[in-house]
Amino acid sequence: MPVTLVVGGQWGDEGKAKIIDYLARDADVVVRYQGGANAGHTVVVDGERFAFHLVPSGILYPRVTCVLGGGMVIDPVALVREIDGLVARGVDVGGRIRVSAQAHLVMPYHVRLDHASEARKGRECIGTTGKGIAPAYADKAARDGIRMADLQRKRADLEALVRERVREKNRLLRAMGVAGVSAQRVVADLLTARRRLSPLIMDTRPFLWDAVESGRDVLCEGAQGTFLDIDHGTYPFVTSSSASAGGAAIGTGLPPSAFKRVIGIFKAYCTRVGNGPFPSEDHGPEGNLLRDLGNEYGTTTGRPRRCGWFDAVAARTSVRLNGITDIALTKLDVLDALAHIKVCAAYRVGQRELDYFPADVADLSGVKPRYESFPGWKTPAVAGASMPSRALAYVRALEERVGCRIALVSLGPERSAVVQVRRARSSHEGTRRARRRPSA
């Protein structure tokens, strides 16, 4: 059975977990392919709020097996804590979490290096989540990483490896004017975590190949968003993994041909945390209003998110880059109270107009958004009632400007607040490329 891939279409925090949770009703396996505890995925079930950082949100469905893919970087202590937190809240995770032996470990020295690097950059900092993500991926690329597979080595070998890495990294930390970490403490915590994680670690690739070949429903979950992708995002203001659809094959071991249906998650407006270009950002009272109405504060760091209007230029680029076949538009209800709603239709650069998102941040720095304005509906859009006609008109206008059908709309944090506004495509029905003009 073809795999459904869910990808963030903007700068992360689009509400992916909400849609994964909706789609996971029918899934057998949910697999995450990149990132680490920098992600904060929130799901609300019967008024109860669950925040996930490492475990795929599909875990809330008892029949779903969750896989932490090889493209992830995982803090083992944080993973054990997250699993324990779920168990304490009555989620039966027994035998339903598999961790790829290929995934890399985020170690305490990575966290410290992340903070030290940000401090060194000062005003030019990236605004990371401070979870050690870039240093962990840097070690992976430098072939200096420690992988989940290493947790299954003989204790003495693992200990020697960790002590060696701590020695090297402490030298680096001290050179940056920061205290090193205690090797003894790092080893002790890792050995404790390994006792818990060892039974979950495996080569997850054959498991996933078998699942796909035997017709099981596999859902692939991206973290962060397209414009935080290490290659396609607003480099250097990006995360350190391949958050866009291309990363899914690498980060799971599933072949690119397995992915037929790509669901892009877009917020009905835009937000960004951390630094870097954000062309449709609203620095005025309307941006503040969006933040208040949408409760736009980071799940992982609690930071206030920068807020602005839906950026159709970025979204069009995202649709083409990811091969998005269907869009899920989230938080439409946040716009309920607004008198008018703006959409960035194009970027102006001097006398010219750009209709795609440039590859280099230098080309973004001078762009001025050209906005279109839509009348607000000033009435609550609620699931189960017919959608206010102006809300539907807004959705249709976005489809036109983005060049892809909007199949799902989310109107609130609850699981029940997802509305299907276009006929669902079966997972066999993904299109090879997004349609320029969606039909009803």
The residues that touch ligand IMP, with contacts defined as CB under 6 A, are 12-13, 38-40, 126-129, 131, 133-134, 223-224, 228, 237, 239-240, 273-274
Q: Given 21, 28, 41, 217, which residue is catalytic?
A: 41
| Closest approach of ligand IMP to the CB of residue 205, in Å | 25
Distance CA 349, CA 344 (A): 14
Q: Given 13, 139, 150, 217, which residue is catalytic?
A: 13
DSSP state of 414: B
CB 12 within 8 A of CB 228: yes
Residue with tokens 């602005």: 308
Q: Which residue is nearest to ligand IMP (CB)?
A: 274
Joined together, the tokens standing for residue 165 give: 């890495």
Query: What is the amino acid identity at position 237?
Result: F
| Closest approach of ligand IMP to the CB of residue 345, in Å | 25
Question: Got the DSSP string for 175-231?
Answer: HTT-----HHHHHHHHHHHHHHHGGGEE-HHHHHHHHHHTT--EEEE--S-GGGSTT
Please say which residue, 58 or 438, places its beta carbon nearer to ligand IMP: 58
Distance CA 371, CA 312 (A): 10
Residues in the chain: 440
Peptide bond into 108 cis (omega under 30): no
Please say which residue, 240 or 244, places its beta carbon nearer to ligand IMP: 240
| Closest approach of ligand IMP to the CB of residue 32, in Å | 12
Please say which residue, 16 or 401, places its beta carbon nearer to ligand IMP: 16
Please say which residue, 251 or 438, places its beta carbon nearer to ligand IMP: 251
Distance CA 141, CA 151 (A): 19
What's the chain's Rg over C-alpha atoms?
A: 22
| Closest approach of ligand IMP to the CB of residue 72, in Å | 12
Distance CA 82, CA 87 (A): 9
115 catalytic per annotation = no
Helix (H/G/I), strand (E/B), else coil: 416? helix
| Closest approach of ligand IMP to the CB of residue 375, in Å | 30
CA atoms within 13 A on the CB side of 236: 8
| Closest approach of ligand IMP to the CB of residue 241, in Å | 8
Please say which residue, 81 or 425, places its beta carbon nearer to ligand IMP: 81
CB 20 within 8 A of CB 220: no
Please say which residue, 17 or 166, places its beta carbon nearer to ligand IMP: 17
13 catalytic per annotation = yes
Residue with tokens 């920061």: 178
The catalytic site residues sit at 13, 41
